[in-house]
């Protein structure tokens, strides 16, 4: 994606809650300790159950990044496709592979969007998206895109687990609200060079799918499109993206507020070109949930430093909580 922004950062340190020490000493010490432990751990267990499993998303991201660079036409690109295909087939999900040939500066390139559908009882669909590939111009370095591509692929895989479990619990195997479609876009990054982003050399997968869904009428079913990009960052500060649909920005802010996550969301505004634009331009309510401020002076963005140690399960918990709550709020509209 491209952006125009002056980087300003405030250091944020995410501290882990500290547990009190327990003493097994004295009469009744063990019983008191046990009661103490139960009282202390109970709220943590409630927390663990009610919050999104960011550790799960992180583990998926780790496995996906471990494939290595995933640039179009490269061997890692094929392996990543195989990873996604095998994952959804193993889980018996409704998978559609949207494979097409993109006209790029290096000639025709075969790209694949992966679409996974979880049917709901309400007519209409909520689409969650990410891109999964890495940059072709970075093929000469070991760029694994832990944050840029892998983190949000992991996030959507963990969201799929939640949706699959929710569906399985109901008698008709459907979600309570709208259908939820997860889209893993290919070809988001520019091909010609790292700084060569243009509307014709970027967002190949989303431009292809938005056009296709425009032609066959699918776009009319979409109530909202939420795009996730680069939000595994340990130091999470998601910008208010100005091309995004205002009511959807407000709804996501409301979802964040429910968990007390306001400080991570929308403290600064930016206009960012990303996979949501082809949908915005066709009138689909859309939001780009993105943190384009990655590392000191953005030094991890599109560099070999974009590795798993720069992202966190905590940030993915925040993301997952907000995405799941946003789905609930859109269902209620």
Which residues of this chain interact with Zn ion, rule CB under 5 A? 148
Residue 249 beta carbon to Zn ion: minimum distance, rounded to whole angstroms: 22
Residue 59 beta carbon to Zn ion: minimum distance, rounded to whole angstroms: 22
Reference 311, options 290, 325, 330, 295; nearest CA is: 295
**8 A C-beta contact, residue 87 and residue 97:** no
| Sign, CA torsion 155/156/157/162 | positive
Q: Which is nearer to Zn ion, 237 or 321 (CB)?
A: 237
For tokens 């300790």, the residue is: 33
Q: Which is nearer to Zn ion, 130 or 317 (CB)?
A: 130
Residue 302 beta carbon to Zn ion: minimum distance, rounded to whole angstroms: 6
Reference 144, options 270, 276, 237, 232; nearest CA is: 232
Residue 191 beta carbon to Zn ion: minimum distance, rounded to whole angstroms: 12
Which one-letter DSSP state was computed for residue 7?
Answer: -
For tokens 């949000």, the residue is: 152
Those residues with Cβ within 8 angstroms of residue 214's Cβ, 6 or more apart along the chain or in another chain: 282
Residue 37 beta carbon to Zn ion: minimum distance, rounded to whole angstroms: 45
288: which 2 tokens? Answer: 């780009």
Pairing, β 2-3 against β 265-270: unpaired
Residue 90 beta carbon to Zn ion: minimum distance, rounded to whole angstroms: 28
Find the residue with minimal CB distance to Zn ion.
148
Using the CB atoms, write b or e for 84-95: b if 16+ within 10 Å.
beebbeeeebeb
Q: Which is nearer to Zn ion, 138 or 248 (CB)?
A: 138
Residue 261 beta carbon to Zn ion: minimum distance, rounded to whole angstroms: 24
Q: Measured between alpha carbons, how far is 167 from 173 in angstroms, rounded to an integer?
A: 5
3-class state of residue 219 by DSSP: helix
Q: Measured between alpha carbons, how far is 301 from 64 in angstroms, rounded to an integer?
A: 18
**DSSP characters over 98-138:** EEEEEEETTEEEEEEEEEEEE-EEEEEEEEEEEE----GGG
Residue 131 beta carbon to Zn ion: minimum distance, rounded to whole angstroms: 8
Q: Which is nearer to Zn ion, 2 or 95 (CB)?
A: 2
Q: Measured between alpha carbons, how far is 188 from 207 in angstroms, rounded to an integer?
A: 9
Q: Which is nearer to Zn ion, 98 or 229 (CB)?
A: 229
Q: Which is nearer to Zn ion, 188 or 325 (CB)?
A: 188
Q: Which is nearer to Zn ion, 53 or 148 (CB)?
A: 148
Q: Which is nearer to Zn ion, 199 or 333 (CB)?
A: 199
Q: Taking every pair of C-alpha atoms in the chain, what is the biggest distance, in angstroms?
A: 79
Q: Residues 67, 114, 227, 190: what is their CA dihedral angle, to the nearest 10 degrees? A: 60
Q: Which is nearer to Zn ion, 3 or 22 (CB)?
A: 3
The rounded radius of gyration (Å) of the Cα atoms in the chain is 21
Residue 303 beta carbon to Zn ion: minimum distance, rounded to whole angstroms: 11
């Amino acid at each position: 994606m491209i952006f125009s922004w002056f980087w300003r950062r405030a250091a944020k340190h995410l501290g882990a809650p500290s547990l009190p020490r327990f003493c097994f000493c004295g009469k009744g010490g063990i019983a008191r300790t046990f009661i103490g432990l139960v009282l202390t751990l109970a709220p943590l267990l409630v927390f663990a159950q009610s919050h999104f499993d960011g550790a799960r998303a992180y583990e998926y991201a780790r496995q996906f990044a471990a494939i290595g660079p995933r640039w179009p036409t490269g061997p890692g690109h094929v392996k990543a496709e195989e990873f996604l295909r095998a994952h959804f087939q193993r889980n018996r999900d409704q998978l559609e592979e949207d494979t097409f040939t993109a006209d790029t500066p290096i000639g025709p390139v075969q790209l694949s969007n992966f679409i996974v559908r979880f049917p709901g009882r309400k007519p209409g669909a909520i689409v969650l998206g990410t891109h999964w590939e890495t940059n072709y111009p970075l093929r000469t370095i070991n760029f694994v895109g832990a944050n840029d591509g892998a983190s949000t692929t992991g996030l959507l895989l963990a969201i799929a687990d939640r949706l699959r479990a929710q569906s399985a619990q109901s008698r008709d195997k459907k979600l309570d609200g709208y259908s939820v479609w997860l889209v893993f876009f290919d070809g988001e990054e520019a091909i010609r060079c790292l700084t060569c982003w243009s509307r014709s050399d970027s967002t190949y997968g989303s431009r292809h799918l938005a056009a296709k869904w425009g032609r066959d009428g699918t776009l009319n079913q979409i109530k909202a499109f939420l795009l996730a990009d680069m939000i595994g960052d340990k130091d999470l500060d998601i910008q208010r993206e100005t091309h995004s649909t205002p009511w959807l920005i407000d709804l996501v802010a409301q979802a964040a507020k429910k968990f007390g996550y306001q400080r991570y969301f929308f403290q600064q505004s930016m206009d960012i070109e990303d996979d949501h634009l082809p949908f915005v331009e066709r009138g689909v309510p859309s939001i780009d949930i993105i943190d384009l401020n990655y590392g000191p002076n953005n030094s991890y963005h599109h560099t070999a430093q974009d590795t798993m140690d720069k992202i966190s399960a905590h940030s993915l918990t925040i993301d997952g909580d907000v995405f799941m709550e946003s789905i609930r709020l859109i269902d209620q509209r």
